[in-house]
């Protein structure tokens, strides 16, 4: 984990990270014989909290969102937009 101490107590909606970590495992490192690692990060810039989940598995295709029929990330995006508005990435 790469989370600065001043963000340890940042409040994050329940089950926001879980689908992202699950995707990192299932689509990033699960099929690798040697396994892999997952890195969870947080930073704050201009009052905006940014969370990241990365794995060292194969990269996603450039058009992965158009081809992705899964619901995990879509559900996360919808929940965050309903809580915080449309200004999310």
Give the pLDDT confidence score for residue 42 in this predicted structure. 96
pLDDT digits (tens, 9 = 90+) for 42-79: 999 998 899 999 999 877 777 766 666 678 888 888 89
- For the cut 80, the answer to whether the pLDDT of residue 83 exceeds it is yes
Could you tell me the pTM of the whole model?
A: 0.79
Give the pLDDT confidence score for residue 13 in this predicted structure. 92
Q: Give the largest CA-CA distance in the chain.
A: 41
Query: DSSP characters for the chain?
Result: -B--GGGTT----TTSHHHHHHHIIIIIITT-TT---EEEEEEEETTEEEEEEEESSPPPPTTHHHH---SHHHHHHHHHHHHH-S---
- For the cut 70, the answer to whether the pLDDT of residue 86 exceeds it is yes
pLDDT digits (tens, 9 = 90+) for 2-35: 999 999 999 999 999 999 999 889 888 987 888 8
């Amino acid at each position: 984990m790469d989370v600065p101490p001043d963000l340890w107590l940042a409040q994050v909606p329940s089950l926001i990270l879980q689908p992202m970590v699950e995707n990192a495992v299932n689509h990033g490192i699960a099929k690798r014989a040697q396994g892999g690692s997952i890195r969870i990060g947080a930073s704050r810039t201009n009052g905006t909290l940014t969370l990241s989940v990365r794995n060292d598995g194969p990269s996603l295709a450039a058009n992965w969102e158009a081809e992705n029929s899964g619901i995990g990330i879509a559900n996360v995006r919808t929940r965050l937009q309903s809580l915080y508005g449309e200004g999310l990435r």
